[in-house]
Structure formats: structure tokens, C-alpha cells
Amino acid sequence: MQGSEAIKPENYEVKDGVTYFSVGEVLGLDKSGNAFELLCENAVVGLQFLTDKLFRVKLSRQAKAQMTFGPMIETHATVAKVDVLAEESAESYHFETAELVVEVQKQPYRLSVYDKQGTLISADTLRGMGWTDKNGTFCSKDAAGEDFYGFGEKTGDLNKKGSVQSMWNTDVYAPHNPEINELYESIPFFHAKKPDGTVYGFFLDNPGKTRFDLQAKDSFRLATETGDLDYYFFYGPTLKDLVAQYTYLTGRMPLPPKWALGYHQSRYSYETEGEVRELANNFRNMQIPCDVIYLDIHYMDEYRVFTWHPTRFPQPKHLLEDLRDDGFRVVPIVDPGVKKDPKYPIYQQGLAFDHFCKYIEGDLYIGKVWPGESALPDFTDGRTRQWWGEKHVGLVEAGIEGIWNDMNEPAIFNETKTMDVNVMHRNDGDPKTHGELHNLYGLYMSMATYEGMKEQMGGKRPFVLTRAGYAGIQKYAAVWTGDNRSFWEHLEMSLPMILNMGLSGIPFAGADVGGFAFDTNAELLTRWTQVGAFLPYFRNHSAIGFVRQEPWSFGEPYGRIIKRYIEMRYEFLPHLYTLFHEASTTGLPVVRPLVLEYPLDSNVRNLSDQFLFGSNILVAPILRPDQTMRAVYLPEGTWIDFHTGESHEGGRHVLAEAQLERMPLYVKAGTVYAGGNVIQHTGEKQEITYHLYKGNGSYVHYDDNGETFDYQQGQFNLLSISQRVDGEKLYIHWDLEHQGFESGASGQPIRMQVHFVEEPKRVEGDGVVSTYDRETRTLSLSVGRNVHDVVVEF
């Protein structure tokens, strides 16, 4: 048995020669504002309850606790009142809310969390909390048998058990693989799921380098490299609850414009106006749906941001108008580097108004990026964000509604791949070095972009895509996973990455379909497009110097199959939009690992080669060449093969047929979802059909104008549909829950299809028109708006 002398502030060495210091014994308790201050021998520990299930622990190596919140914490979370009962005994302090008990042992400091039944949820290890002679802080927690999820954009498995996760936004062109831990985004948040299914989580709010060591069998450690430990503890008890709480704390994705949910086509680069027009014409002539075309760096004049190349794109406004008439939006790339060029107005203004990053001595920081030597805006300053946002006005006036932020880690062409960590950021009056704020740089850039665009777009929703980000990025931008390669392995790896991003508060994520670098091939592009159609962000993008990978690039049968899956994206769009709306209100991801919906199923703890689109459509993509069959795990319930109608009892594996033109898809019995006919872009009118897979279940379909913020004033529709099986009868009921916008459907009958059923004996309901297709076993119903109930007897 070790006594407390084991961690008395006597320093102790660990194998790598680092000396650890602990906060020591707790000597007293103070209250300051709504935070408790535990006065320890060597530090002050702030303890602040934000809700009954969410509290914050802040280590301060100063006389008083420093409790200023990080910039991404939502104001509503910081002001909420929580009733906390605080008591003291000889050995400990005891804090109790309606849901949790936090016990802080005095000799030495050691924090434990219990639920109200007295079950231990989490506790500090003997090593506890402290710092090292290298100046970083740490906290070690007991954990035995936990599975770990979240951590944002990371390579490797869905379940991060046994790994080390490091957070430092990095531009990685070298092939992404499970060994590369630092990519473009850093989300220092994770879920820990105990073997009994109980879930708790930690968010380490520190935008410098942080590290999560999950290798030990019975403990894990959180560590910072700069700044003092500032963590939030969440008690689930479910994964879903935890995502909701985390996004309550750091914010939720605003509803994107509907067009951003369509198919996006990109290339580094479509280099001229002529090339872009030809591309657009190809889509429309071949009737392949597409909403968005991207302009990569070639559109600029020598890579000067906010300019157009004089000969490649001589009349941007005219081009954009023509494309818009044809239903296309154009999203240009905007990088942070501002070319050092005395004749360039943005550089002139940036200098004149002191917007660029500098050293403490006042020297400008200059880094080499695409435009050559460049200055970088100091986005940590609100004043500079405002300026940058305003600079988009020319693009907005030309008709741009979406911006693609790249290189915002920031990526610099040098040894460290980023800005000098000694650069001093203004940080709204609280200057800090780049090393301390690094992971916030890209987020602040996208925030400036989103807010600037929003101000200029006359009530329309902007779309921003970003490569770099930090916790809270979901409030400003969609995220793509950067420079992947056209490898089957990268297609496979993108799934746990996107699923974990969803569990980390970022529902709007995707990878470059087809792969960015290296030559893709016909089969890979086909399989990648199939799964891309069911991922939240759906963009085909490829790099300069490699084969073209537009949908038609490989001829038949590939072109036809790719087209069909892009069409399916649009057929599922009304449901996808509903899922996006759900994500924007609850934080729940659009695509979900099975463990989110079936947390007690031991077959899905680390399953990520299949996922759920919403809660009840299961997508089982093909991730390897020449696979025409695959094993699919179906969780409990009855699952219907989308392609064949075959019904399977879950809780077991099935072998699915998956010839090139088929990606296995299963719909759970009882599912209702809103679908639509194929349209060429989201500007076209789409007829809604409600799809029913016989069983018990309900659905609420959300819709609005897809473009403006009027939905926040009630201009949206909610239509609920439920179905219930009783013996031979299927009872269908629908209601208009909320009618706030004119969809063009008013007065039109409600259309429904019940899939894979026998020919009914009778269909009851006033004026209901029903038809039955024997071949597809589909029952189609058309119900007048004044009829709310239909009974189908089989």
C-alpha cells in the first residue's frame, strides 16, 4: 500500500528524466464568484459547476485561481446558475449537485466523481494533478476498461483505446497513416465509455499543444505543453448526451444553406474561365446533379488573396452570374498569407492598420507560402477579424456565397511547417505567443470569414469550408480532412475520422472523394463516390499533376454508376436536411458510428467500416478492390435490404451482395424518412415522398427555404409521420406540427410509399389514392391534406 507520501510534493523522477510536481495538499477552500478555489500547497485549483453534470477544473500556479473562460466557451454556459451543496470534513471537501458528487480529498489533493447512487465515475490517480520541470501541466485519471471516442480529426481506429493523441494543427501532405497523430484540426475532447456503458468525458481547453496518453491499462493522462490545465468534466451517462453537453459548451453548427448539402466538384485547379464553363456544361449536359464548383489557387493574381487573375478570369462577375443561372455556386479558396508586395492594397492596409502578426519587438513575421514571402493576419484580434471579414465584400458582390479556407494551421513552407512559436499575438488585449494559441489560428480565420460574409450577404446563410480548426469550429465552418491520397486505405481511414469528428461536435465533415493526391482509378472513384453520397460533406477534389477524376473521367460503366449515386444523394436530400437541422439543434452527428445508437452491443465498440446515416439507415460501403460481397453487421432489430427488400433479424452478420453498382444499404423496420425526386441542383423544385419501411416508428421532417435565416423567426415546416403495426393492419398518421413557410407543397397531396410489402387487401382513408407495384412490391399512397389517417390492411 502506498501512503500519501508517495506523492507529497517531493519531486519524483520518471524514466524519461522529467521531474513531476504535484499541487500538494489542500489547505483551505474559498469561494470567488461562482467558482470554488481549493487552496493547495503549491497551486490553486478552481472548481466551477456549469450544469448539474458538467464542471470545470482549472489549475493556477498563482495565488488566485485564473478563471477567465476560453474564447470558444458559449456565454450561456458560463452564466448558468447551479445549486451546489458544499461541505467539509476532516479528510475532504464534498460538492453535490442534483446529478453528481465531487469529492476532493485533502491529503493530498485528489478529485473523485460519483453519481448520486455513490458509484465512482472518475478519480485522479496517485500522481494526480501537477506540472513538470518542462513547464507543462498534467492530470492523471484512473480508468480501467474504458473505450475512448472523439478527439476530432485523427487517423487510426474509431476507438482510441491504447493510443496517444497529440494536438497541434499541422499541414500533412506526407501520406496520412495511423502513426501520424497531428493533422489539421485539434479537438481536445473525448468520450470515455466504461464496460457497463456509462459515459463521461473530458474537454481540455488549451489551444497550445496538448497530449492525451491512453496507453496505460488502468489510467490515462491529459497534458498541456503551455498554459495551465483547464479541463471540463462531463457526465453522460450516454454518448448522445455527451455530444449534446459538449456542444452546449462549445456551440453547435448553424444550419448551412441547402446547396452546401449537394454535390461539390473541385480540382487543383480549374484554371480558366473557359475550363469552368466547360465543366459546368458537362454536368448539365450529362444530367449529373451538381451544386458547387470550386476555384483553387489559380484564380488569383499571383496568389494575392481577394484578387482575380486578369487573363484567366477576366470577367468573374459575368461568369458567376451565368453559372448561377445554371444553378451553380462557386466557392473560391482563400488562404491567410498576404503577399509582401508594396503595390498590393491588402498588404498596404494590413501594415497601415497593424493587422499582421509580429514579434514582441515589433518586427513583422514573414513566412513563405504560395504568394512567396507573405505576412499573416493576426486573427486573434477582433479588430483584424473584422477587417478580414470586410475584405470579402468584393467576392460577395461578385456573387460568391461560400469560401474555402486552406493553409490556416497556418501552414508555412519551412522546417516546422508553421509560424514561429515566438510570434506574439495581440489576442484582444491579452497578448500570448503563437505557441500558446497555435490551434486557434485557423478557427479564428474561419470565424472572421463566416461573420464577415454573413454581414454582407443580406440575410443569406454563408458556407465556409476549413482545413484547420479547434473545438468550436462547428459554429463557423464545415471541415474536410485535407490532403488524403487515392488509396483504398485512405477511403477506409476516412470513415473513423469523420465519425469521430461527429462525436466531437463537428457534424459537417467529409474527405476528398476519389482521393486528393496520386492517380485515382475507375473502381476507387466509383466506390468512394458511393460512400461520399452518404457522408455530410460530399466533394470530389484532386491534385494538380494527377489524373482527372470528374464523374465521367473513366467512361462506362463507372460514369453511369457514379452518376446514379450522386442522384441518390439528391433523393435522400430532404432527409439529410432534416438530419442537419437536428445536428444544429442538438449537436448529434449526421452520420454515426453504430456505438452511438447501440452502446451496449459489444460488436460495435470499434466498428467503423459501416455506419449509420441518421439513426436507422445503415451504410456498408465497399472499401477494397474487387469486393463484390461483404459481411455486414446488423445490430438488434429488423433490417430491410434497401436494394432487394430482404428482411433480416439483427444481432448478427449477413453477407451482402455488392457488385460494382451496389453499395449495401439497410433500413430498419419502422423507419420513415423524407425523400425526393432527382434534381440537377438544389435550386430546382423537389417533390417530397415519405418512405415507410413497415413497422413501428415515427419521423419529423424539417424544411425551410434553405437559404436565409428566416427559419429563426419561425419560417419553417415540421411534418410528423408515424406508423404502427397492429395484426394485419398498418396505421399511418401524419400531422403538420408547424407551418411557417410556403413550400409550394401546400394544397398538394402528401405522397407516401410503403416499401417491400404485400399487396394490401384494403386501404382506408378519405379520398386516399393508392397504387401497388407488384414488381417492386411498393405501395404508393397519395393523401389529401385534410386526411391525417390511413389504415392499410394486408
| Site of interaction with ligand MIG (CB under 6 A) | 268, 296-297, 333, 406-407, 467, 482-483, 516, 541
Tell me which H or E stretch contains 232. strand 230-235
Between 323 and 407, CB nearer to ligand MIG: 407
The rounded distance, in Å, linking the Cα atoms of 287 and 331 is 21
How far apart CA 727 and CA 794 sit, in angstroms, is 9
Q: Whose grid coordinates read 419502422?
A: 670
**Identity of the residue numbered 724:** R
Residue nearest to ligand MIG (CB): 268
Strand order in the sheet with 264-265: 509-510, 478-480, 463-466, 402-405, 329-334, 292-295, 264-265, 539-540, 512-513
483 is catalytic: yes
- The cell numbers describing 43, all together, are 497551486
**Across-strand partners of 527?**
none
> Would you give the distance in Å from CA 539 to the centre of its chain?
15
Q: Specify whether the CB–CB gap between 674 and 683 falls below 8 A.
A: no
Peptide linkage before 108 cis (omega within 30 of 0): yes
Cβ atoms within 10 A of the Cβ of 577, count?
22
Neighbours of 634 (CB within 10 A): 22
Identify the burial level of 767 via C-beta atoms within 10 angstroms of its C-beta, where 0-12 means exposed, 13-18 middle and 19 or more buried.
Answer: exposed
For 273, the grid coordinates are 474561365
Cell 486557434, residue?
A: 440
Map grid coordinates 462531463 to a residue.
234
SS3 at position 690: strand
Sheet holding 688-693, edge to edge: 672-676, 688-693, 750-755, 778-783, 769-773
Reduced to 3 states (helix: H, G, I; strand: E, B; else coil), residue 171 is: coil
Smallest separation (angstroms) from ligand MIG to the CB of 516: 6
312 or 630: CB nearest ligand MIG: 312
- Closest distance to ligand MIG from the beta carbon of 406 (Å): 5
Among 406, 550, 567, 582, the active-site one is 406
**Active-site residue among 146, 409, 567, 597?**
409
The one catalytic residue in 37, 483, 550, 704 is 483
Three cell numbers, residue 61: 500556479
User: Which residue, 369 or 588, is less far from ligand MIG as judged by CB?
Assistant: 369
CB neighbours (10 Å) of residue 526? 25
Q: Are 451 and 385 in contact (CB under 8 A)?
A: yes
Provide the minimum distance between the beta carbon of 553 and ligand MIG in the complex, in angstroms, as a whole number. 17
C-alpha distances (whole Å) from 470 to each of 158, 188, 251, 442 are 19, 8, 12, 8
Residue 414 CB, nearest distance to ligand MIG (Å)? Answer: 13
Please tell me the distance from the alpha carbon of residue 513 to that of residue 499, in angstroms, as a whole number.
16
Least Cβ distance, residue 295 to ligand MIG (angstroms): 10
Question: Which residue, 337 or 614, is less far from ligand MIG as judged by CB?
Answer: 337
Residue placing its CB nearer to ligand MIG in the complex, 96 or 171:
171
Can 409 be counted among the known catalytic residues?
yes
Helix (H) or strand (E) holding 391: none
CB nearer to ligand MIG: give 131 or 303. 303
CA–CA separation, 673 and 671 (whole Å) = 7
Query: CB 685 → ligand MIG: shortest distance, Å?
Result: 33
| Residues 151/190, Cβ–Cβ less than 8 Å | yes
What is the pairing mode between strands 147-150 and 199-204? unpaired
Report the residue number, 407 or 679, with the smaller CB distance to ligand MIG. Answer: 407
CB of 486 to ligand MIG, least distance (A): 13
Nearer to ligand MIG, 148 or 268 (CB): 268
**Residue 63: how many CA atoms within 13 Å on its side-chain side?**
0
Beta strands in 555-646 (DSSP E): 591-592, 611-613, 617-619, 629-634, 638-641
State the DSSP H helix or E strand holding residue 441, giving kind and residue range, or none if neither. Answer: helix 441-456
CB-wise, 481 or 680, nearer to ligand MIG? 481
Least distance CB 158 / ligand MIG (angstroms): 24
Pick 480 or 552: Cβ nearer ligand MIG: 480
Q: How far is the CB of 259 from ligand MIG (least distance, A)?
A: 20
With beta carbons less than 8 A apart as the criterion, state whether 299 and 274 touch.
Answer: no
Nearer to ligand MIG, 110 or 467 (CB): 467
Q: Residue 703 catalytic?
A: no
Q: Based on CB atoms, which residue is closest to ligand MIG, 482 or 599?
A: 482
Tell me if 284 sits within 8 A of 322, measured CB to CB: no
Which DSSP category does 587 fall into? -
CB of 395 to ligand MIG, least distance (A): 16
Cβ neighbours for 677, distance < 8 A, ≥ 6 positions apart: 571, 686, 687, 689
Residue 407 CB, nearest approach to ligand MIG (Å): 6
| Minimum gap (Å) between residue 543 Cβ and ligand MIG | 6
- Residues classed as catalytic: 406, 409, 483
